[in-house]
């Protein structure tokens, strides 16, 4: 979830729950408008088709939020992605309870059922009001016939989410059932692996037909399954990941007395997005490259200490990663976590480097497991 948040932005709050939308949705908007132009429709119809998908996703997430409230699970945020949404809970206890097979199965069925009911309801209304419209005529998803598309987007969104591919609803159900007899780690790995296979199959079929929608679904499922596979490391209690395992040790720091122009010049020579700020040997804040640029544009040159954030928490190098994420980053959108060895800063964690490090750590452990099997 942390890595997914890094590629999303907030669009508001509803009943205290933060609503975020993933940049995948913006990519899909561009593709929908392009597809509309190529197929002979207007860009406005492509935008309307995108809005229909967004509406279907919102419907399923509202239903899942109601179900979460029914089970007394406090939501912190909802991240909207083209294949559905990802919910983050306010407490670790709620997160653990939602992951149990019994509640996980019920929560997993709510979204697809909501889209199925809405799709069949809209189909019944259309057939009653305008029986001349042929809902079975192909193509089902086309900007030239939005009435037919609104029915099929809901039905297909429900069908896709019933696939046993993480992180879709069906993947969560499959993971819960598999975990009953094989454990959480093997259940997560099986669901993620199956999700990657299904994503590849969808993408291949989409290229052969060709069909843009199948290709996009395959890409979203594969990426989501890969992220879910990497997050498997966070669930390991017998072999916990520590902050020193994933922290960035080659990083740059800024001084509170640096000017913004000096800081921007230094940031040009690094891929680092967020910088620790020190005064002497003391850590006093953090500042992002974007914050430096915005301050220069709005107020002109100044000092880093004038734009840095002083509200942050630190972690020790031997702290558990999962416990630290729950304590520091969960739901707060933390952009930098300095890692300390006593009073000395020895590394940093950012959402970008965390996703990269987790992927490499996961690949390394797979190689070690493969070598172990070969030796046995």
Residue whose entry in the numeric block shows the structure tokens 């590849």? 200
Closest CA to 331 of 169, 94, 167, 63: 94
Residue 88: the pLDDT is 82
- Tokens for 109, please give them: 């069925």
> What's the DSSP call for residue 241?
P
Structure tokens at 305: 């200490």
Contact indicator for 256, 362 with CB cutoff of 8 Å: no
Tens of pLDDT along the chain (376 residues) come to: 445 555 777 888 887 888 988 888 888 888 888 888 887 888 899 999 999 999 999 999 999 999 999 999 988 888 888 888 888 888 767 777 887 778 888 888 999 999 999 999 999 999 999 999 999 998 888 888 999 999 999 999 999 999 888 778 888 888 777 767 776 666 667 777 888 889 899 889 888 887 777 888 888 788 777 665 555 555 444 446 788 888 888 888 999 999 999 999 988 888 788 899 999 888 898 998 888 999 999 989 999 999 998 877 788 888 877 777 766 654 444 678 889 887 788 999 887 777 677 767 767 766 776 777 677 6
200-222: burial string, b at 16+ Cβ within 10 Å, e else: eebbeebeeeebbbbbbbbbbbb
Pairing of strands 282-288, 315-316: unpaired
Q: What kind and span of H or E run contains 44? A: helix 43-70
Within 13 Å, how many C-alpha atoms sit on residue 177's CB side?
Answer: 11
**Residues 205 and 241 sit within 8 Å (Cβ to Cβ):** no
In this predicted structure, what is the pLDDT of residue 238?
43
Task: Please say whether the beta carbons of 316 and 340 come within 8 A.
Answer: yes
**For position 229, what pLDDT does the model report?**
55
Q: Check if the beta carbon of residue 188 is closer than 8 Å to that of residue 173.
A: no
Cis before residue 139, ω within 30 degrees of 0? yes
3-state DSSP helix/strand/coil % of the chain, to nearest 5: 60, 15, 25
Question: Domains plus CATH for the chain?
Answer: 2-235 (no CATH), 243-358 (3.10.580.10)
């Amino acid at each position: 979830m942390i890595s997914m948040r890094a590629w999303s932005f907030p669009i508001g709050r509803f009943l205290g729950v933060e609503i975020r939308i993933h940049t995948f949705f913006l990519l899909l908007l561009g593709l929908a408008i392009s597809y509309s132009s190529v197929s002979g429709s207007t860009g406005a119809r492509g935008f309307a088709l995108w809005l229909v998908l967004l509406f279907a996703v919102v419907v399923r997430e509202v239903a899942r939020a109601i179900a979460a409230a029914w089970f007394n699970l406090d939501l912190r945020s909802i991240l909207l992605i083209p294949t559905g949404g990802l919910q983050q809970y306010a407490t670790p206890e709620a997160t653990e309870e939602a992951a149990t097979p019994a509640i996980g199965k019920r929560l997993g069925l709510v979204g697809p059922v909501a889209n199925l009911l809405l799709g069949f309801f809209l189909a019944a209304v259309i057939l009653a009001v305008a029986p001349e419209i042929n809902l079975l005529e192909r193509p089902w998803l086309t900007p030239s016939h939005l009435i037919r598309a609104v029915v099929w987007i809901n039905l297909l969104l429900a069908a896709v989410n019933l696939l046993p591919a993480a992180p879709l609803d069906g993947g969560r159900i499959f993971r819960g059932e598999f975990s009953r007899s094989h454990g959480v780690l093997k259940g997560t790995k099986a669901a993620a692996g199956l999700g990657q296979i299904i994503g590849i199959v969808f993408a291949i079929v989409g290229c052969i037909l060709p069909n843009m929608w199948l290709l996009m679904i395959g890409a979203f499922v594969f990426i989501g399954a890969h992220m879910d596979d990497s997050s498997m490391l966070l669930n390991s209690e017998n072999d916990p990941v520590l902050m020193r395992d994933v922290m960035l040790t080659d990083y740059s720091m800024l001084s509170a007395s640096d000017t913004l122009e000096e800081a921007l010049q230094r940031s040009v020579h690094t891929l680092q997005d967020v910088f620790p700020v020190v005064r002497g040997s003391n850590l006093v804040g953090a500042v992002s490259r974007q914050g430096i640029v915005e301050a220069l544009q709005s107020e002109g040159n100044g000092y880093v200490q004038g734009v840095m954030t002083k509200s942050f928490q630190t972690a020790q190098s031997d702290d558990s990663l999962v416990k630290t994420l729950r304590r520091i980053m969960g739901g707060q959108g933390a952009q930098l976590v300095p890692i300390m060895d006593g009073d000395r800063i020895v590394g940093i964690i950012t959402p970008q480097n965390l996703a990269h490090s987790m992927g490499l750590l996961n690949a390394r452990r797979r190689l070690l497991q493969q070598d172990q099997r070969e030796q046995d």
